[in-house]
Amino acid sequence: MFRLIRTHSSGARYGELQTVHGTLRTPFFMPIATKGAVKTLSAPELFSLERDIDNETTPIVLSNTYHLYLKPGLALLRQAGGVAPFMHWPAGGAMLTDSGGFQIFSLSHLRTITEEGVNFRSHIDGSMHHISPEFSMEIQSVIGADIWMAFDYFPGYPAAPEDVEHSVQLTTRWAKRCRAWVDSYREGQGATTQKLFGIVQGSTIAKLREQSAKELVALDFDGYAIGGLAVGEPAEEMYRVLESTVPHIPSDRPRYLMGVGFPEQILEAVKRGVDMFDCVLPTRNARHGSLFVHRIGHESIVANDLSEVQYERINIKSDKYSKDFNPIDRACLCSTCTSGFSRAYIRHLFSVNEPLAARLATIHNLTFYLQLMKEIRDTITHI
């Protein structure tokens, strides 16, 4: 159940999404734990990191169907009772699973697509695996997340119009099959706890986005994702797509922009009515030494009228920080920054390849993103 509480003059929405694990305040950002861990962090650590930033919202993390299916596999996941208990994700935290649709794109050289589903050659050992929409649902049921994503397909960017059209049609047909599988699953379960989201495709073609959205809305999903973006198109193009897609999604359902993005992109999407985000950027960039910091002289990341985000990125591996004994970000409240770890020390850890470097950086970047979302929520609700 999603309750839209308030809409800001900028177009940004504040809402509350109920799951059995608690209430998620939107807009929110989901850190990515593809294989059952946010790289370098344990689930309890991640949970308290999220809690520390905003204890009024339920922490949520994203994990992945394709990757967890390959390892540790369904038998073990069943034995563990799902990934959440397996990874020690606290009972008070929520989870969303991506369907494996993105791997059709990112592992495109290892798969073939048919109407029935996708044949993958495992990137781990080369073995063959078939994932259909139904099987993706089954895997997600075993993983046991609160929010499941329909199995979708999208071409890269740029894409030929006929390919985009095909992806929209196939995604709709697959969405119907996902929906049907989940409906019968729910009948067998009695109580319905998990939510199923459909994923709108259509690349940058407004008419196809509209068609995709309408076809999915007709299937009545619990929420709607906008997929196939942030795959190489200019940011302005992405914003245009949002403008041509969001109006076709019912306002009483959460809207999820998949895989986005940089802070300014998140803000622009929020102002266009998006409620949920996930992205690899804060965690991956942290591992690569690229850190998000407040702009000097600014205590908040988001301008108080939601007009812009104020931040910089620093490459902590740079020589210019070798003697910088300041914290990464003076205005940051993360444990890395408040514990007094200096830029010079973190740079040193990177240069000698100590795993602690990635860990401290991940804690910082994730905090930055979560703080960004909290500021956005606070701004919407306080005005």
Q: Which residues are catalytic?
A: 98, 278
Question: Binding RNA by CB under 7 A: which of 94, 242, 260, 293?
Answer: 260
- Tell me which residue of 103, 65, 61, 58 sits closest to 84, measured CA to CA: 61
Burial class (CB in 10 A: 0-12, 13-18, 19+), 38: buried
The DSSP secondary-structure symbol of 109 reads G
Q: Which of 87, 182, 258, 328 binds RNA (CB under 7 A)?
A: 258
Task: Please name the residues in contact with 2: beta carbons below 8 A apart, sequence gap of 6 or more.
Answer: 15, 16, 17, 18, 26, 222, 223, 252, 253, 254
Q: Which of 22, 27, 101, 223 touches RNA by CB under 7 A?
A: 101
| Shortest CB 163 distance to RNA, Å | 14
Residue whose C-alpha is closest to residue 199's, from 111, 278, 265: 278
Among 99, 140, 141, 367, binds RNA (CB under 7 A): 99
Per-residue string for binding with RNA, 66-85, x by CB under 7 A?
A: -x------------------
Q: Does 123 bind RNA (CB under 7 A)?
A: yes
CB 281 → RNA: shortest distance, Å? 5
The 3 state secondary structure assigned to 354-380 is: CHHHHHHHHHHHHHHHHHHHHHHHHHH
Q: How far apart are CA 357 and CA 347, in angstroms?
A: 8
344 near RNA, rule: CB under 7 A: no
Q: What is the DSSP letter of 254?
A: -
CB of 290 to RNA, least distance (A): 3
Give the interface segment with RNA, choosing from 7-15, 177-185, 286-294, 329-337 (CB under 7 A).
Answer: 286-294
Task: Please report whether residue 182 would count as binding RNA according to CB under 7 A.
Answer: no
Nearer to RNA, 27 or 259 (CB): 259
Among 259, 263, 273, 327, binds RNA (CB under 7 A): 259
Spacing of C-alpha 171 from chain mean position: 19
Query: What is the smallest separation between the CB atom of 333 and RNA, expressed in angstroms?
Result: 21
Least CB distance to RNA at residue 28 (A):
14
127 is an interface residue for RNA by CB under 7 A: no
> Which range in 18-26, 149-157, 178-186, 296-304 contacts RNA by CB under 7 A?
149-157
38 near RNA (CB under 7 A) = yes
Instruction: Transcribe 199-251 into DSSP letters.
Output: EE--TT-HHHHHHHHHHHHTT--SEEEE-S-SSSS-HHHHHHHHHHHGGGS-T
CA distance from start to end of the chain = 25
* 339 touches RNA by CB under 7 A: no
Contact between 366 and 286 under an 8 Å Cβ cutoff? The reply is: yes
Nearest of 277, 278, 314 to residue 294 by alpha carbon: 314
Query: Where does this chain bind RNA (CB under 7 A)?
Result: 32, 34, 38-39, 62, 64, 67, 98-99, 101-103, 105-107, 109-110, 123, 149, 152, 154, 199, 225, 227-228, 230-231, 235, 258-262, 265, 278-281, 283-285, 287-290, 315, 317-320, 322, 351, 353, 355, 358
